[in-house]
Amino acid sequence: MIRQTLPVILTLLVFSPRLNAAVPCETLSTLKLLNTTITMAQVVEAGKFVAPAAPRGAAPRGENADADGRGDDGANANADGRGAGGGAGARGGRGGGGRGPAVNVYANVPTFCRVAATLRPTSDSEIKIEVWMPVANWNNKMLAVGNGAWAGSISYNAMAAPVTAGYTATSTDTGHTGGQAATFIDKKEKVIDFSYRAVHEMSVAGKGITAAFYGGGPKLSYFQGCSTGGRQALTAAQRYPLDFDGIIAGANATNASLMHGTQVWVAQQAHRDGDASMIPNMPVNKYNLLHDAVLKACDAIDGVTDRVIDNPRQCKFDPAVLLCKEGDAATCLTAAQVETAKRVYAGPGVFRGYEYGSEGGWNGTLRAPVGIAFDSYRYLALNNPNWDYKTFDIKKDIAQFDKTVGPLMNSNDTNLKPFFDHGGKLIMYHGWADPGIPPENSLQYYSKVVKTVGASKASNSIRLFMLPGVGHCAGGDGPGTWDSLGALDQWREKGTAPASIVASHSTMGVVDKTRPLCPYPQTAQYKGTGNTNEAANFVCK
């Protein structure tokens, strides 16, 4: 009898919800883990956390902006000034349509044990991490959150929601301080830390610290990130398939050579006339003009006129309809501007460009190259800090990227069988209106994974959600706020794959539209009756 019940007792001890920590938080300051130095272990009382100032050049907390202030990996304030950045939080992103009142994301965070550590897997590594563990009501799970652009700081904002929901939360600066590549140029180990090693080391240390605090490690470990965080997510599944049991990868920045190459190329096209003033040949006031013309041509294709294009690939639009009769005016495009728009939609030939509906955010990608793309090429691929992006050679320079930094940053391996074989679940998502990372990046990767592992295994392990009208990670005219973590957790723990997930859109903090997100290639189709702003009146087909 004892032999039969002992495993059950051990299971209860390890996996039953713990309401309180096994040891005082402060005792973790002496914890010994491989390659790990604990630098802080203290209790933070409920609602009292204040984020440290961001390092110089790093992304603003929770905004994932590039060093020059633009949004993460291309990001994305829309032409009307609304942010479309978005980070890796416990939910799938912020709603667009206006920022609404400022919110203290830490106000509802319960009392937690805050541990900071420095990890040194190599002599030139200095990976900072933090692990936040709720003192009470831990759910036996850990969520690691990703970074934006060049990282360079802990993603504090993204840690708040998971801790509030009962998770251990962990984040890393990926091994350097400040959001610019110049901080680790000619330092290969730091490039490796940024590219993939830091997230792995964080996962190992995070689990060890969690186990020491609660008297047992997490039953399930998840990762969630968007943009650079999306690349981190897929890289983890590829290189370290046992690190996480479930992964959420948004607007993934894998296929870095082609993706960053496209980001540099579109800026090159907007400056192809050689204007010494560095003003792109399509000024900001023309983006909304173009966007409205696209919506006029394609918005109603899905049967609902709501300023959202459900599937831009069905859109047939020629920018030449806006061609000025003569000269230039605010209500039309010059011949050069028409040509720029055509090139941005088409892409450079080696990779697809931006989709119809993304025009509102082109200011972040056309006025100058996206910061991380520009730096990836000039610092890492070409080793020339003075490189002029207007000399970009799409084939030659991409080949050089593939040769130098590609093996570290491309993360193109589509054989996710080892991750899927241990029960790993992967939710991918991408906004159709993303003006930073072309949606083709996620569509292409998803399709290749399905082909590599087979349709049967893929159907049990991976879902891609394309978000109509949503920008880079969040924002835009479409519903971009959704509980991706809840969907992942249900799938991994209960075996319930997400057939659809309700998302919402807000204006000034007030929800004004809901819509089901559908697993690709399905789309949300209006049933023909009822309010078109309510998700219940749509079905995934």
Q: Are residues 381 and 449 in the same domain?
A: no
pLDDT tens digits along 125-147: 999 999 999 999 999 999 999 99
Q: Give the Å distances, CA to CA, from 276 to 273, 279, 280, 281.
A: 9, 8, 10, 11
Judged against a pLDDT cut of 80, whether residue 373 lies above it is answered with yes
192 shares its domain with 95: yes
Q: Do 353 and 451 belong together in one domain?
A: no
Q: Among 388, 407, 426, where does a domain finish?
A: 407
Residue 269 located in a structural domain: yes
- DSSP lists the bridge partners of residue 466 as 430
Q: Can you say whether the dihedral through the CA atoms of 146, 148, 151, 157 is positive or negative? A: negative
pTM: 0.90
Number of domains in the chain: 2
The string over 128-160, giving b where at least 16 C-beta atoms fall within 10 Å of a residue's C-beta and e elsewhere, is: bbbbbbbbeebbbbbbbbbbbbbbbbbbbbbbb
- pLDDT at 516 > cutoff 80: yes
Q: Would you put residue 383 in left (φ > 0), alpha (ψ -120 to 50) or beta?
A: left
- Looking at the structure, tell me whether residues 433 and 386 fall in a common domain: no
* Residue-level pLDDT at 272: 87
Residue 365 has pLDDT above 70, yes or no: yes
Q: Tell me, yes or no, whether 275 lies in a domain.
A: yes
Bond prior to 521 in cis (omega within 30° of 0):
yes
Whether the pLDDT of residue 71 is over 80: the answer is: no
Is it the case that residue 348 has pLDDT exceeding 50?
A: yes
Query: Do 58 and 177 have their domain in common?
Result: yes
Same domain (yes/no): 486, 360: no
Asked which of 78-82, 366-370, 469-473, 533-537 is least confident by mean pLDDT, the reply is: 78-82
- Does residue 315 sit in the same domain as residue 328? yes
Average pLDDT in the 473-497 region?
A: 96
Phi, psi dihedral angles at 513 (to 5 degrees) = -160, 135
- Say whether both 285 and 352 belong to one domain: yes
Which burial class, exposed, middle or buried, applies to 123 when counting CB atoms under 10 A from its CB (0-12, 13-18, 19+)?
Answer: exposed
Task: Please give the C-alpha separations between residue 133 and each of 42, 100, 154, 164, in angstroms, as whole numbers.
Answer: 11, 30, 16, 10
For the segment 40-64, what is each residue's pLDDT rounded down to a tens digit? 999 999 999 999 987 665 554 333 3
What domain range includes position 342?
Answer: 258-407
Residue 39, SS3? Answer: strand
3-state secondary structure of 388: coil
272-319 per-position pLDDT tens digit: 875 544 567 888 889 999 999 999 999 999 999 999 999 999 999 999
Q: What is the pLDDT of residues 139-175, one digit of tens each?
A: 999 999 999 999 999 999 999 999 999 999 999 999 9
Residue-level pLDDT at 274: 59
Question: Do 195 and 208 fall within a single domain?
Answer: yes
Report whether pLDDT(2) > 50: no
pLDDT at residue 283, as a whole number? 86
